[in-house]
């Protein structure tokens, strides 16, 4: 359950849809799971493979951020109970409220007037704030934001999504690369 790619795909949807662009953006946006999984790998290597793979199956942005933040507070000890509590709670919430949204959405109309379009970014910003490690660690996010913003203002279409993702990944790679 990777909502980021769904939001990106909706933003790219035209008539007729550019299927290859949507597939490419979906792959690019979800490629963050590769990095997220790599960040969790040292913390879950002690787990039996079945539990480790299950943890990765239920990994989403929020469960990853919460699990990582909890491990950092606990001296890099990963709590599988905490993680599954967060992940399964998020998964159940996703299913329940997606169903409610599908049933009630047509009655409500445009939910932007209620501010619901800011829910996903707001939750993620709060989680990221709890993981703040200083301006150097935030550099990939800042570069992504700036590049995406400039691309949004200067290039037609939804190219701001891959531009921001690629720019942030390059900065993160450069930071992680040993000199």
Residue with the larger pLDDT of the pair 26 and 157 = 26
Q: Write the secondary structure of 40-77 as one string of H (helix), E (strand) and C (coil).
A: HHHHHCCCCHHHHHHHHHCCCHHHHHHHHHHHHHCCCC
Spatial distance between the Cα atoms of 7 and 116, rounded to a whole number of angstroms: 13
Domain ranges of the chain: 133-179
Residues with Cβ within 8 Å of residue 158, at least 6 apart in sequence: 8, 11, 12, 21, 25
The tokens of 71 are what? 């491990």
Residue 162, CA distances (Å) to 38, 73, 159 in order? 21, 33, 6
Kindly report, residue by residue over 103-118, the tens digit of the pLDDT: 998 898 887 888 877 7
8 Å CB contact between 120 and 132: no
Is the pTM higher than 0.85? The answer reads no
- Cis-peptide into 48, omega within 30 deg: no
Please give the pLDDT value at position 143: 93
Q: Please, which pLDDT band fits residue 178 given cuts at 50, 70 and 90? A: low
Spatial distance between the Cα atoms of 129 and 138, rounded to a whole number of angstroms: 10
Kindly report, residue by residue over 132-160, the tens digit of the pLDDT: 777 777 888 899 999 999 999 999 877 78
Kindly report, residue by residue over 84-94, the tens digit of the pLDDT: 999 999 999 98
Give percent above pLDDT 70 in the chain: 91
Spatial distance between the Cα atoms of 98 and 127, rounded to a whole number of angstroms: 21
């Amino acid at each position: 359950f990777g909502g980021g790619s769904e939001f990106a795909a909706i933003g790219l949807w035209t008539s007729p849809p550019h299927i290859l662009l949507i597939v490419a953006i979906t792959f690019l946006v979800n490629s963050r799971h590769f990095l997220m999984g790599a960040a969790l790998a040292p913390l879950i290597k002690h787990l039996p493979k079945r539990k480790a793979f299950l943890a990765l199956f239920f990994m989403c942005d929020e469960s990853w951020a919460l699990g990582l933040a909890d491990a950092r507070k606990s001296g890099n000890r990963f709590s599988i109970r905490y993680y599954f509590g967060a992940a399964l709670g998020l998964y159940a919430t996703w299913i329940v409220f997606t169903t409610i949204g599908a049933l009630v959405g047509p009655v409500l109309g445009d939910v932007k007037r209620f501010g619901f379009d800011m829910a996903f970014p707001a939750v993620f910003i709060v989680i990221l704030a709890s993981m703040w490690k200083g301006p150097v660690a935030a550099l990939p996010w800042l570069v992504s934001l700036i590049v995406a913003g400039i691309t949004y203002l200067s290039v037609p279409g939804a190219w701001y999504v891959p531009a921001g993702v690629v720019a942030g990944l390059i900065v993160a790679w450069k930071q992680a690369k040993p000199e």
